[in-house]
């Protein structure tokens, strides 16, 4: 059993998918988000879309960093995580503007004070203000903030995002087919709308990242940050403290900052790509939960996805693997490993998309292609060898 599973977490969410398999799949079953008829206004040419997600256990990292350093700004990043994990899923069906957001914050008041709440709530609005500059308008409709110390040990930061969108501007993944190439957009580096280096970690796999990288010191000092029934051999098994530093390029960056890099949103880039290349985009995938295997869930027919030109593995994922000893098969299932957005398109449009990404300071490349197959299959290959998922 993998370390991830031993900690009570599933990268593939098998039980969740089993629980919801009888639910209505919406108008477009292969779309990245569930899409429904326009029940709000009754217009047959429009649809309603709603999505819920959050920062997950990354808030525990913010808690540790705050307790260790006193730096309240870590919580602004958690606000961005909760928004980006919703927004970037909706980007994949073509939604880029006029969105509504409602936050849900559950806290243990004995450990999380009002200053933290202010940092999260104000950080959310600041992030919306930044996105508005790029024509991505999100309206903050408030939400629920509950003191539920018997339920959460520290804090859970989540949100719900919704939109009404024209059918004619949807990306539904139904056009993904053999002959497509896959353009990957890096999750790491520093986009020109980001204030500092982004490790690329995002908000998936943070249970593993936290326990694999950080040392037993955190189990001893902050027992409120993990499930007490977990076996000791899977709890904070790493060698690092949050304040340790790594040399990345010409910068010394703390382990805490690497693990807490706010989830990059691709919204400014995707808005431009959809404006210029809507007709060329056959499908979009947000490589979130499930990492590089995420695309397998949204194929409209059996296809062989071949990714043989992946990005170099960013330092944060190397750090996690060195600490945990996890094999590459598990790493690629849990983490994005270098790119968190991929677009399925024709080769002729791919180069233009790569160039547009460059104007935003985001590296992009053709990471793979789509081949015919009798049964759905994914092959990853690179310096790590070849890994096949079926």
CATH number assigned to the domain comprising residue 323: 3.30.1330.10
pLDDT in tens, 175-196: 999 999 999 999 999 999 999 9
Which tokens is 251 given? Answer: 């910068």
Domain membership of residue 384 (yes or no) is yes
What domain count does the chain have? Answer: 1
Domain membership of residue 133 (yes or no) is yes
Mean pLDDT of the chain: 95
Domain membership of residue 245 (yes or no) is no
Q: Which of 292, 154, 169 is nearest to 222 (CA)?
A: 154
> Beta-strand (E) ranges in the chain?
35-37, 46-54, 99-107, 138-147, 155-166, 181-186, 245-248, 251-254, 281-286, 303-307, 339-345, 364-372, 377-382, 385-389
Domain membership of residue 122 (yes or no) is yes
Domain membership of residue 118 (yes or no) is yes
Domain membership of residue 347 (yes or no) is yes
Residue 93 is part of which domain span? 3-196+261-389
Q: What is the pTM of this model?
A: 0.94
Lowest-confidence pick of 12-21, 48-57, 91-100, 294-303: 12-21
Q: Is the pLDDT of residue 128 over 60?
A: yes
Q: Which of 36, 35, 126 is nearest to 75 (CA)?
A: 126
Burial of 373: CB neighbours in 10 Å, binned 0-12, 13-18, 19+ = middle
pLDDT of residue 327: 95
pLDDT of residue 23: 74
pLDDT in tens, 1-49: 566 577 666 555 567 657 667 778 899 999 999 999 999 999 999 999 9
Domain membership of residue 285 (yes or no) is yes
């Amino acid at each position: 059993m993998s370390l991830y599973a031993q900690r009570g977490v599933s990268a593939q969410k098998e039980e969740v998918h089993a629980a919801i398999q009888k639910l209505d799949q919406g108008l477009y079953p292969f779309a990245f988000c569930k899409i429904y008829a326009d029940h709000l206004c009754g217009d047959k040419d429009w649809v309603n879309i709603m999505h819920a997600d959050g920062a997950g256990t990354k808030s525990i990292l913010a808690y540790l960093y705050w307790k260790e350093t006193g730096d309240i700004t870590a919580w602004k990043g958690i606000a961005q995580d909760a928004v980006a994990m919703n927004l970037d899923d909706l980007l994949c069906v073509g939604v880029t503007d006029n969105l509504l957001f409602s936050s849900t914050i559950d806290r243990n008041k004995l450990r999380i004070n009002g200053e933290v709440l202010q940092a999260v709530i104000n950080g959310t609005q600041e992030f919306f203000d930044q996105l508005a500059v790029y024509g991505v308008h999100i309206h903050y409709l408030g939400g629920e903030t509950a003191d539920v110390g018997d339920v959460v040990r520290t804090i859970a930061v989540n949100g719900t995002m919704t939109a009404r969108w024209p059918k004619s501007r949807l990306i539904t993944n139904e056009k993904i087919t053999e002959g497509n190439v896959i353009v990957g957009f890096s999750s790491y580096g520093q986009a020109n709308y980001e204030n500092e280096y982004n490790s690329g970690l995002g908000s998936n796999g943070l249970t593993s990242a936290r326990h694999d990288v950080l040392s037993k010191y955190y189990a001893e000092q902050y027992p409120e940050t993990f499930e007490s029934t977990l076996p000791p051999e899977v709890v904070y098994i790493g060698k690092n403290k949050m304040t340790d530093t790594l040399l990345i390029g010409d910068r010394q960056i703390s382990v805490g900052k690497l693990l807490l890099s706010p989830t990059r949103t691709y919204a400014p880039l995707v808005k431009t790509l959809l404006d210029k290349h809507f007709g060329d985009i056959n499908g979009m995938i947000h490589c979130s939960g499930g990492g590089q295997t995420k695309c397998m869930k949204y194929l409209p027919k059996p296809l062989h996805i071949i990714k043989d030109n992946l990005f170099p593995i960013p330092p944060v994922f190397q750090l996690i693997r060195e600490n945990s000893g996890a094999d590459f098969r598990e790493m690629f299932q849990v983490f994005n490993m270098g790119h968190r957005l991929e677009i399925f398109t024709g080769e002729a449009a791919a180069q233009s998309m790569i160039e547009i990404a460059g104007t935003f300071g985001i590296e992009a490349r053709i990471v793979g292609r789509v081949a015919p197959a009798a049964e759905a299959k994914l092959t990853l290959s690179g310096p790590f060898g070849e890994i096949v998922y079926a």
